[in-house]
Amino acid sequence: MTQTLTRRAHEAMDAYLAKYYKDGDFERADFWDCAEIFEILDDAYEITRDERYLALIDETYERFLKDRGSDWGYNIYNDDIMWAVIAMTRAYMLTGKEKYLATAKYNFDKTYARAFSDDLGGGLFWRADNQSKNACVNCPGAVAACVLGKATKDESYFEKAKGLIEWIVKTLYEENGKVYDCIGLNGGINTWSSTYNQGTFIGANVLLHEFYKDDVYKKQADAAANYTMMDMYGGGIMNNEDTGNDLIGFKGIMSRWIRLYALTYGKPEYIEWLRKNADAAYENRNSEGLMWTAFGKKTEEIYYDVFGPSAALAVMFNCI
């Protein structure tokens, strides 16, 4: 089975690259799209160890800096920066190339300093205008801090991650595992839940449990993983989050952290769930081999935004 899954994932990557990729650039990918696609390249190498992905990682890094610079303070979205930090820190951990880590560490430190405040009890602001504190920056911020802590052996990063997750649990979390979206300066909470926030909350808790050995993190990861698979989808096909510019890539982000959770704690049912979704996406691919983000729907013969098909691509690798 592993050979078949790996072959299909390589096929999916080939189709995706043929459609969207040239010289380190992904067509019409904005800052955070590119950061997340970068992470799929990390996934592809980490999971398959196929060295062709190393060249793609390096080309994408160099093009990212050429187009977007090495200091990302101009980007008002703190979550965008955290995603690029995660992607590049992971690239360092996979390759040992110091340039990836240097860029990631510089931008994390600068962004954390501008985004963190004691308003609303702590946590990071979503944007530089400081109007709301969102799971979409605090959970990735915690993941970014954990991977930097692992890469640099600097425990202070884990302390930052710990603080962010404690704030999430206190402010935007239910004990059944549901992660809320955000809280505004007026105290109003948006209780909407997404695969993106569920996945990064799971990932941060797994990484914190690995470091601190405190079972509260495993308990939180267990609850959030179960909520994601069963309460949100009933263990079935993820056929939503298919509108807008951002939602269309969310499920791919979730897949890598569900995989980490499943492998860390011996939970094969979550890998099987990802495989079920990968099967559905693969069966519904179009003539170019692309798979739309609503995995249970036939992929049409139209131009798709680069981010949309990335969700299925990430699932294809993370179910191996």
d(Cα 21, Cα 64) in Å, to the nearest integer?
13
What pLDDT is attached to residue 197?
98
HSE-up of residue 142 (Cα within 13 Å, Cβ side):
31
DSSP letters, 242-301, are -SSSSGGGHHHHHHHHHHHHHHHHT-HHHHHHHHHHHHHHHHT--TTS---SSTTSPPPS
Q: Where are the domains of the chain?
A: 75-232
Structurally, at CATH architecture level, domain 75-232 sits in: Alpha/alpha barrel (1.50)
What pLDDT is attached to residue 244?
87
Q: Low-confidence residues of the chain, pLDDT below 50? A: none
What pLDDT is attached to residue 144?
99
Q: What is the pTM of this model?
A: 0.98
Q: What are phi and psi of 175, to 5 degrees?
A: -65, -20
Q: Is the Cβ–Cβ distance between 237 and 295 less than 8 Å?
A: yes
What pLDDT is attached to residue 1?
85
Convert the pLDDT of each residue in 111-126 to its tens digit.
999 999 999 999 999 9
At which residue do the structure tokens 């009933």 appear? 234
Convert the pLDDT of each residue in 13-47 to its tens digit.
999 999 999 999 999 999 999 999 999 999 999 99
